Structure 1
Amino acid sequence: MDPRFRVDLIAATPNPQQCVYAGMHQDYSEGFVAADRADWPDETKAGEICVKRLLAGERGHYGPLEHAQIVLNVGWFPHSVMQQARTHRVGVSFDVQSMRYTGDRIARAADGDLDLEDVFYLRPVGDYSDRQGKKYHYSPELRQQDLELCRQAAARYRDLLQAGFAEEHARGILPFDYRQHFVVSFSLRAFLHFMDLRAKLDAQQEIRELCDLLWPHLQTWAPEFAAWYEKSRLHKARLAP
């Protein structure tokens, strides 16, 4: 995994499994469930009950999972990951560096003030295959050629800005996989949905690595749901709920 890739927690519902429990419980309760909060199960037990009643046996009652929310900051991933992450109906909110207001780092890399690989992503040297199984080797020499193309593009971008070109015009000459930071918010349901779509074993390498960094946050935040998901759905490429 690229050592620059990073996912940090910004905020999260502090009792997500109890929130799911409350939503589920209100569905079939005569009373006002918040009035009985002292009688709710604790966070761990709430998670166990919700998994059993909502998800076990592929019951698929995912609606109550939408009440719990988590916000994460994702850093230094290539633009292709953002392209994939926003494809399909994921029910997720993104705020992403636009490259209209955030191109200074490219010019700084062109001037040598930043490492080129801080702003452009290239896969590591190694053996790869395409989705049809055709194998190829990405050699140090090929990678160095690509890095030189990134250097030239960064210099051209800097020169265009200095010549008065608009950022949205100048960015058109940049390699596709410039790095971007973004903030993303998931409901618990959307988190599982995203993992169904993007953690499958034949997904693009970089988005699988994003899922690898997302996963510990889910385990810490909603451990009973994460344990059920790991056993029942993780990497199995099932259709998302």
Structure 2
Amino acid sequence: MDSRFRVALIAATPNPQQCVYAGMHQDYSEGFVAGERDDWPDEQRAGEICVKRLLAGERGHYGPLEHAQIVLNVGWFPHSVMQQARTHRVGVSFDVQSMRYTGERICRAATGELDLEEVFYLRPEGTYADRQGKKYAYSADQRALDLDHCRQAACRYRDLLAAGFAEEHARGILPFDYRQHFVVSFTLRAFLHFLDLRAKLDAQQEIRELCDLMWPHLQAWTPQFAEWYERTRLHKARLAP
């Protein structure tokens, strides 16, 4: 995994499994469930009950999971990951570096103030395979050529801005996989669905690595849901409704 890739927690519902429990409980309760809060199960027990009543046995009652939300900051991933992350109906909100207002780092890389690989992503040298299983080698010499291409593009970008070109015009000449930071918010339901889509074993390498970095946040936030998900769905591409 690229050493720069990072996922940091910004905020999260502090009692997510109880929130899911409250939503589930209100569905069939005569009373006002907030008035019964002293009688709610604790966070661990709430998670266990919700898994049993909503998800176990492929019941698939995912609606109450939408009451719990988490916000993550994702850093230094290539643009292709953002392209994939926003594809399909994932029910997720993103705020992403636009490359209209955030190109200073490209200019700094052009002048040598920043390492080129701080702003552009290239896979490490090694052996890879395409989706049909055909293997190929990415050598140190090939990677050096690609890094030089990134350097030339950064210099051209810097020169275009200096000549008065608009940022949205100049960015068109950049290699596709410049690095981007973004903030993303999930409901618990959307989080699980995102993992269904992107943690599967034939997904693009870099987005699988994003899922690997997201996973500990799910385990810490909703441990009972994470335990059930790891046992029954993780890496199996069984898409959530």
Q: TM-score, normalised by structure 1?
A: 1.00
Distance across 2 between alignment mates of 1:238 and 1:230: 12
Distance across 2 between alignment mates of 1:234 and 1:135: 26
Partner of 1:178: 178
Task: Give the superposition deviation at 1:240.
Answer: 2.4
Partner of 1:3: 3
Name the SS of the counterpart of 1:94 in structure 2: strand
Q: Which runs of 5+ in 1 are unaligned?
A: none
Alignment of 1:132 with 2:155, yes or no, is no
Moved over 6 A (4+): none
Distance across 1 between alignment mates of 2:200 and 2:97: 27
Partner of 2:99: 99
Distance across 2 between alignment mates of 1:118 and 1:45: 44
Partner of 1:117: 117
Distance across 2 between alignment mates of 1:239 and 1:193: 6
Output the aligned Cα RMSD.
0.3
Alignment of 1:230 with 2:214, yes or no, is no
Task: Give the superposition deviation at 1:89.
Answer: 0.2
Distance across 1 between alignment mates of 2:240 and 2:169: 38
Residues 1-241 of structure 1 aligned to structure 2 (within 5 Å): 1-241=1-241
Distance across 1 between alignment mates of 2:2 and 2:119: 13
Q: TM-score, normalised by structure 2?
A: 1.00
The letter of the residue matching 1:139 is S
Distance across 2 between alignment mates of 1:44 and 1:74: 28
Identity of aligned residues (%): 86
Distance across 2 between alignment mates of 1:154 and 1:18: 50
Distance across 2 between alignment mates of 1:77 and 1:239: 24
Distance across 1 between alignment mates of 2:240 and 2:163: 48
Task: Give the superposition deviation at 1:239.
Answer: 2.0
The letter of the residue matching 1:142 is Q
Distance across 1 between alignment mates of 2:142 and 2:173: 20
